[in-house]
Amino acid sequence: MFRLVTVAGRAALEHDGGWYDLGQLTGDEAFSAPAGALAHHGALHELSERCAERPPDGRLADVTLGPPVPDARQVFGIGLNYRSHAAESGMELPPAPLTFTKFPSCLAGPTTDVRLSGDTVDYEAEVVVVIGADCRHVPEDRAWAVVVGITAGQDISDRHVQLSGSPPQFSLGKSFTSYGPTGPAVVSVDAFADADDIALSCEVWGGAVQQASTAQLIFTVPQLVSYLSSICTLYPGDLIFTGTPDGVGMARGRFLAPGDVIVTRVDGVGELRNRCVGPDEEEH
């Protein structure tokens, strides 16, 4: 099992509160690029065990982590993948995974500020699947074998931009810079007791707003990987935002405002804590 993070844009392994630069640990700079490290994920398990034998390059508490896969080649988002969220949105269940893209330039770290683009910006807590192999036409029963790990994600969405087209085109409204917080780590699949039943939650305005498990997904992770790979070639480091459960702000009639803090938790992964800032406010 391993936990992959990035420190100053370089891939590192997390072990016992410390971080270990992968380029240093392996003597191979190919490992310092996160997608490069994920392409060799077989070695990451063994390298993670080796961490116990040496002092870390630093403590996690002393650094600001970046998005664990800042160099993802493709970032897929899945809409309406929980019955509860489709119902609160007043939408019919999609017959196939309703897929959009979050352009990779929107990816942000676990504590990056979210720069609000307007007054209809919303949160969506999601479990994010990270691909670990070049693959096409993956059958469902082989799908977990091409998934290297799991991370937490926020599919921040400007509802006005997302829904104003006719027909609506989701991708740009979900791709403003900083609208893809991810992290804090990519956690290998073997760390989960049941990878098809991972709990996620979201807290904002001082209370819980979303709570669910991936056991409730309409299209499961194997179905998503199989479907997407029947159309696109998938690459190491590609991300799939698997969808959000009910409880989003749009259904509550309340949107994000400067000063709000979004806390996103995925069991076995950890937490994202992102503060919202206005268009002209200084960011951290």
List Cβ neighbours of 219 (8 Å cut-off, separation of 6 or more). 78, 81, 97, 227, 243
Q: For residue 203, state whether it binds Zn ion (rule: CB under 5 A).
A: no
Q: Least distance (Å) from Zn ion to the CB of residue 241? A: 6
The least CB distance from residue 154 to Zn ion, in Å, is 9
Residues of span 112-131 touching Zn ion by CB under 5 A: 124
149 forms beta bridges with 130, 188
Nearest to 125 by CA among 284, 259, 274, 283: 274
- Round to whole Å and give the CA distance between 83 and 119: 27
In the complex, the smallest distance separating the C-beta of residue 214 from Zn ion, rounded to whole angstroms, is 13
Q: Alpha-carbon distance 89 to 112, whole Å?
A: 28
For the bound state, the minimum distance from the C-beta of residue 100 to Zn ion, rounded and expressed in Å, comes to 8
Compute the C-alpha angle 240/141/99, nearest 5°.
25
Nearest to Zn ion by Cβ — which residue? 155
Q: Which stretch binds Zn ion (CB under 5 A): 38-46, 136-144, 148-156, 178-186?
A: 148-156
By C-beta, is 70 or 153 nearer to Zn ion?
A: 153
Among 155, 158, 238, 260, binds Zn ion (CB under 5 A): 155
Residue 123 vs 192, nearer CB to Zn ion = 123
Rule CB under 5 A: is residue 14 a binding residue for Zn ion?
A: no
Residues 206 to 265 in contact with Zn ion, rule: CB under 5 A: 244
> Which residues lie near Zn ion (CB under 5 A)?
124, 155, 244
